[in-house]
Amino acid sequence: MKQRLGYLALPLVMAAAFTTQARADGETIAVFTKNQTNPFFQTVRVGADNMAKTLNAKTLQYIPTKPDSIPEQLSQIEDVVVKKPSAIVFTPVDYKAMVPGVEKINDAKIPVVNITDRSAGGKFLSFVGADDYSLGLETARFLLKTLGGKGNIVIIEGVKGSLTNVDRVRGFNDALKENPGAKLLASQPGNYQRLQALQVMENLMQSNSQIDGVLAANDAMAVGAIEALDGANRKAQVIGINGTKEAIDAIKTGKLLASGDYNGFYQGCLGTMMAVRSLRGQPVISEIVLKPTVITKDNYQPFDQPLEQRTCPTFEEAGKLSAK
């Protein structure tokens, strides 16, 4: 289960307490994501923009130019506190290091919704995210089932110490424990970056003559691993996480075995929905944890759709998602 370090889960009836004032429409929602390099966060941003447009609000995007930069996101928080948007939808680049930043937002009385990575502290209207442990477990189980429960496996991790990485890799390892015929050769960080994962995979291939499966903690790294395999004219089954367009395309061509998805589009939609509803004095849902889906060549079709053509869920549908 995902850790809940210091997270303040507010009951639905209390959430409106963060409302600064009731507004009809036209609110500005500042959306914080972690980087421009991981396509997952572009999915989140499009979902947020889609919902804002539907609700006649607008978004202001805050993205570190250096991926997952703690100093840069802290600086962006200083900026947003001055600009004082109507509300904030916030993904911390580091779930512990950004707590002082969240507290500054709280002190400025700006309502804030936490999405994707659960913050270790601060006060939030709502959390919208996923169970990263289940995501890692289910995608790894699919890989190992495909390999017949055996083979030489490598793990390419995200950012060491980040909560998403800890939980996803824990799921990977638990799936490996279920399959004693599989051997873990190495588990090394690629920091959620494609190029770094490519380099990690190149190094792993130099020291391991036979690699049968690659468990990558996100799609960008999975694609990097595939590029390394192609460059060395070697084959292995590779999985990623995020359900990005690039991953779907790779699944269609058989390059990628599967991608675990926890619906970044919905996360952007629902985070923005909860922020706007709070501003308008409407009830919000204090926690929505989306179930993972393992996208494969057999079920990719619903995910093979341009982001701009996707539709955000309604509040009633969000309630059902949170109840699962």
Q: Of 155, 175, 275, give the one whose Cα is nearest residue 217.
A: 155
What is the predicted pLDDT for the residue at 5? 32
pTM here is 0.77
CA dihedral 78, 21, 286, 101 (to 10 degrees): 10
- How far is C-alpha 183 from the chain's CA centre? 28
Q: Of 31, 20, 29, give the one whose Cα is nearest residue 76.
A: 31
Side-chain half-sphere CA neighbours of 258 within 13 A: 24
pLDDT digits (tens, 9 = 90+) for 17-58: 344 444 568 999 999 999 998 888 999 999 999 999 999 999
pLDDT digits (tens, 9 = 90+) for 258-287: 999 988 999 999 999 999 999 999 999 999
* C-beta separation of 50 from 229 below 8 A: no
* C-beta separation of 222 from 240 below 8 A: yes
The residues pairing with 88 across neighbouring beta strands, listed in sequence order, are 30, 112
pLDDT digits (tens, 9 = 90+) for 136-161: 999 999 999 999 999 999 999 998 88
Q: Of 250, 299, 317, 273, give the one whose Cα is nearest residue 39.
A: 250
Placement of tokens 């009836």 in the chain: 13
Helices (H), 37-193: 39-54, 70-83, 99-107, 132-146, 163-177
- Distance from C-alpha of 242 to C-alpha of 227, rounded to nearest angstrom: 18
